[in-house]
């Protein structure tokens, strides 16, 4: 009787915020040793994750792009958004499982860290009980962005709040009002709403707007200088804390 083929291992490969030099050695080893490289992207585009590792992809590997059905930043609990993405992640998990069942390791590329607002989490939850998984932590996008400001982010007992800009205005205001230091993610078309909340709380002067942090076309400015009504996908607002500092 022939033995069943050994199943492949799934790697969740955190790539950091965009600078290829911020890829860890663990992530690089997973990329170089896996016969299948998968990544998420908008339909018809190479994808940011794939671009980061452009010079590191070995020749002869199988490349598996997974194209999102929707990319607009709308509330995550919207029924249409939820349904479309649930089907997409089901199909993505099936594609990944096809290679894993045939004994091929798969490196699924992830911008930032795989377990922090990462698309990797969705196929991972569908596959983790069936296959061996190794997760390679990555530098988070917010870390790369607040480093770009050159301002210490938290002092002493400051509490850092990470808030998605897709929150309803009232909830965003409530949570930001309680924050010592804050990071606002998922900005996009929500920028004006977020800016209005900062203005209402009189916190705008403490905040910074960072676009494409750590990338070659990085933009960093005080939030007061950002006058456009919308922001691109790769943008974050950070508000450093100003709590107790060592003397």
- Give the pLDDT confidence of 70-91 residue by residue, as tens digits: 655 555 555 667 788 899 999 9
Among 3.30.420.10, 3.30.1490.20, 1.10.150.530, 3.30.950.10, name the CATH number for the domain at 141-239: 3.30.950.10
Tell me the C-alpha distance between 155 and 239, whole Å: 12
User: Binning pLDDT at 50, 70 and 90, where does residue 4 land?
Assistant: low
Question: In what side-by-side order are the strands of the sheet with 133-136?
Answer: 62-68, 36-42, 106-110, 10-14, 133-136
Q: What are the tens digits of pLDDT across the range 85-125?
A: 899 999 999 999 999 999 999 999 999 999 999 999 999 99
> Which pTM does this prediction carry?
0.89
Question: pLDDT for 10-23, tens place per residue?
Answer: 999 999 999 999 99
Strand partners, 35: none
8 Å CB contact between 153 and 202: no
The rounded distance, in Å, linking the Cα atoms of 44 and 158 is 43
pLDDT of residue 140: 95
The answer to whether 12 and 1 have CB atoms below 8 angstroms apart is no
Domain boundaries, the chain: 10-136, 141-239
Q: Which residues contact 23 (CB under 8 A, 6 or more apart)?
A: 15, 16, 52, 53, 56, 138
> Which residue has tokens 């894993």?
100
Which fold does the domain 10-136 belong to in CATH? Cobalt-precorrin-4 Transmethylase; domain 1 (3.40.1010)
Q: Distance between CA atoms of 42 and 175, rounded to whole angstroms?
A: 31
């Amino acid at each position: 009787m022939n033995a069943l083929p050994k199943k492949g291992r799934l790697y969740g490969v955190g790539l950091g915020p965009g600078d290829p030099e911020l890829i860890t050695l663990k992530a690089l080893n997973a990329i170089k040793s896996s016969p299948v490289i998968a990544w998420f992207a908008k339909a018809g585009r190479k994808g940011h994750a794939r671009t980061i590792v452009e010079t590191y992809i070995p020749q002869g590997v199988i490349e598996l792009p997974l194209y999102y059905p929707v990319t607009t930043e709308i509330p995550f609990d919207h029924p249409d958004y939820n349904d479309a993405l649930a089907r997409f992640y089901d199909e993505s998990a099936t594609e990944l499982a096809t290679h894993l069942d045939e004994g091929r390791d798969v490196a699924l590329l992830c911008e930032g860290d795989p377990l922090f607002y990462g698309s990797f989490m969705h196929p991972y939850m569908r596959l983790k009980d069936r296959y061996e998984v190794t997760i390679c932590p990555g530098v988070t996008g917010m870390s790369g962005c607040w480093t770009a400001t050159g301002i210490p982010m938290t002092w002493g007992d400051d509490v850092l709040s990470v808030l998605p800009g897709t929150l309803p205005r009232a909830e965003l205001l409530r949570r930001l009002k309680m924050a010592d230091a804050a990071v606002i993610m998922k900005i996009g078309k929500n920028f004006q709403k977020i800016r209005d909340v900062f203005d209402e709380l009189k916190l705008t002067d403490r905040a910074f707007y960072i676009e494409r942090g750590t990338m070659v076309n990085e933009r960093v400015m005080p939030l007061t200088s950002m006058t456009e009504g919308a922001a691109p996908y790769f943008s974050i607002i950070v508000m450093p804390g100003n709590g107790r500092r060592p003397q």
